[in-house]
Amino acid sequence: MYSRNSRMSFSDNSRRGAFSGEGGGGQKMKVLLLNPPAKRKVVRDYYCSKTSKSSYLFAPIDLLLQSGVLAKDNELLVIDAVAQEMGVKKCLGELKKYHPRIILGLIGAVDLREDLDFYRQLKLSIPSAKIFLTGEPVLEDSEEWLKVNPFIDGILLRFISQGLAQYLAGKAEPEGIVFRDDGEIKFFAPKADKEYSVGRARQELFQFRRYFFSFAKKRRFATILTDFGCPYKCGFCVMSSLGYQRRRLEEVEEELEYLNWLGIKELFVQDQSFGSGGEHSKKVMGLFKKYGFSYTAFVRPDHQEERFWRELKDSGCHTVIVGVESGDDEILRIYNKGYTSAEAYEGIWRAKSAGLRVVATVIIGLPEDSLESIGRTMGFIKRVKPDFVSYNLAVARGLTKLRDKAREEGLISRLEMDQGGSFAGMRTRSLNEKELIELKKKAVRDFYFRMGYIWDRLKGIRSLYDFYALFREGMAVWFKNI
C-alpha cells in the first residue's frame, strides 16, 4: 500500500526539513509548513503556545493535520525551526533556497513580538511568497490583524479547515480563512459540521530527532488527533470556543495503519477530552488495540464507570492527563469545570486502580486565586498522589471568558503569555506576577523533590528507556525550578 521511499527514520529529515509531493502530472505548487525559530524551547501547538516546562517537544498538531489537507495537490516542505535548532538567519536562508509560493506558519502568544518580527523579515526576504498564519493570537480579531500587519497575507482560522487548500485551488468562498484580495480583506467562517476530514496526515514529515515526549514508553512516537475542540465549556480554555467535531473513523484507521507500517507504536493523543465522544471514542480505542499501540491521552476525571478506565487500559493507554486545575471548589464552579475536587479525586483513584499512570494538570494564577487557595490546591495534590503534576500559570487567551474578566479588571500586564511559567503575563486580585512565578516553582519543588516520591519513580522503572526519560525530565525540572 505504501511506497518504500516514504518510510523514514529520525535521521532522514533532521537537517533541512522534510519534503512530500504526491504523484500525478502537472506542476505542484510549493507550500511550506513552518514552525518559526525561537530563542527558547517553545511549543506552538493547538492554540496553546508555551515554553516547555521540562524537555518535551512534539510535532505541532496544527501543521501535522494541514499536511494531510495540502499534500494531495502541492509539494510540501516542513521546517520545524525549534526542533531543528535553527536560528533566524539560518531559517531564512533555508526558506530562500526552497522559495515557496505559500507559507503556512505558526504564531504563538508566548513569543508574539519575536514571531511577528520574524514573519516581517521573511516577507522582505521572499516578497513573492504569501504568508498565512495560524495560532491563538490571530483567532481573535483576525481581520484587524491583517489591517495592522501588511506582511501577513491571510489567517487560517481552524487547522482542520479545507480553507487554504480551497484558496489555492481558486475556490470563490473557501471556508475557515481570512485573506487579502486586491486590497480587500475577506472573511469566511469555518464550518461547524459534526464530523471532519483532513486526509492522512503526513506523519513521515514530522519525525524530527529532537521530538521527545515525557510520558511516552518508547523513544519514537507520533501525535494524533481523533476529534477537534471540546464539548465542555471551561471558562479559562480556548477549546470551549472552537466547538466539537469528530474525525472520520476510516481516516483515523488509515493514519494508524500507516504509523504501524512506519514502525511507530507509541502515540500522544491530542484530543482534549478523550473518551467524551461516546461510541466514536470506543471505536477509536478499538482501533488502538487492533494495531497494538500504547498511548497517553487527556481524559476528564469525572468518568464514573470503572469499566471505562479498564477499557482505556485494555486498549493500550498507559498514562492519562487529567485536569484537576484547582483544589478550590468555588474556583472550579466559577470556571464551569463541571466537577468538584472530590469527583476529581475519585476519578484519579479509578484511573490508578485500573493500572493507569496519572498526570494531574493544575492552574495557578486565576483572578480569584489567593495564597490560601493555592495552598489548598497544593495540599489537595499531595493527598491525591498522582504520578506526575503539570503546574501551569493562568493565561488569558483570546476567545475565553477568563480573558474578558482579566481585561475588565485590568489584570493583564503584558502582550505575551506563557502557561509554562517562564514569566507571568497577568496577576490575580491579590498576588503579583513575581509571587505567582515563585509559588509555581515552589509547588513543583514540593511535589517532585521528595525522597519518597523519587524512590517511587525509581521503583517504577521497567526499561533502560524508562531510566533515560526519568533522568532527562528530572534534570530539566530541577534546573527550571531551583
Q: Is the pLDDT of residue 20 over 70?
A: no
- Tell me the average pLDDT across 75-80: 97
Cell of 265: 507504536
- Tell me the average pLDDT across 393-401: 96
- Cα distance between residue 163 and residue 177, in whole Å: 6
Q: What is the pLDDT of residues 289-330, one digit of tens each?
A: 999 999 999 999 999 999 999 999 999 999 999 999 999 999
The CA angle 407-409-415, to the nearest 5 degrees, is 35
CA distances (Å), origin 464, targets 100, 294, 458: 43, 17, 12
State the pLDDT at residue 127: 98
Q: Is the pLDDT of residue 16 over 50?
A: no
State the pLDDT at residue 28: 87
SS3 264: coil
CA distances (Å), origin 135, targets 80, 106, 432: 15, 6, 28
Cell of 86: 535553527
State the pLDDT at residue 3: 46
The CA angle 369-373-377, to the nearest 5 degrees, is 115
State the pLDDT at residue 7: 52
Q: Is the pLDDT of residue 478 over 70?
A: yes
State the pLDDT at residue 12: 40
Q: Is the pLDDT of residue 163 over 90?
A: yes
% of the chain with per-residue pLDDT over 90:
93
Q: Spell out where 189-283 has E strands.
A: 195-196, 222-224, 227-229, 244-247, 266-269
Q: Is the pLDDT of residue 204 over 90?
A: yes
pTM over 0.85: yes
Topology alike, domains 15-188 and 213-448:
no
**Reported confidence tier of residue 222, pLDDT bands at 50, 70, 90:** very high
Q: Is the pLDDT of residue 23 over 60?
A: no
CATH architecture of 213-448: Alpha-Beta Barrel (3.20)
- Tell me the average pLDDT across 178-193: 95
Residues making up the chain, counted from first to last: 482
- Cα distance between residue 462 and residue 459, in whole Å: 8
In CATH, 15-188 is 3.20.20.70: no
Cell of 100: 515557496
- Tell me the average pLDDT across 351-364: 98
- Domain ranges across the chain: 15-188, 213-448
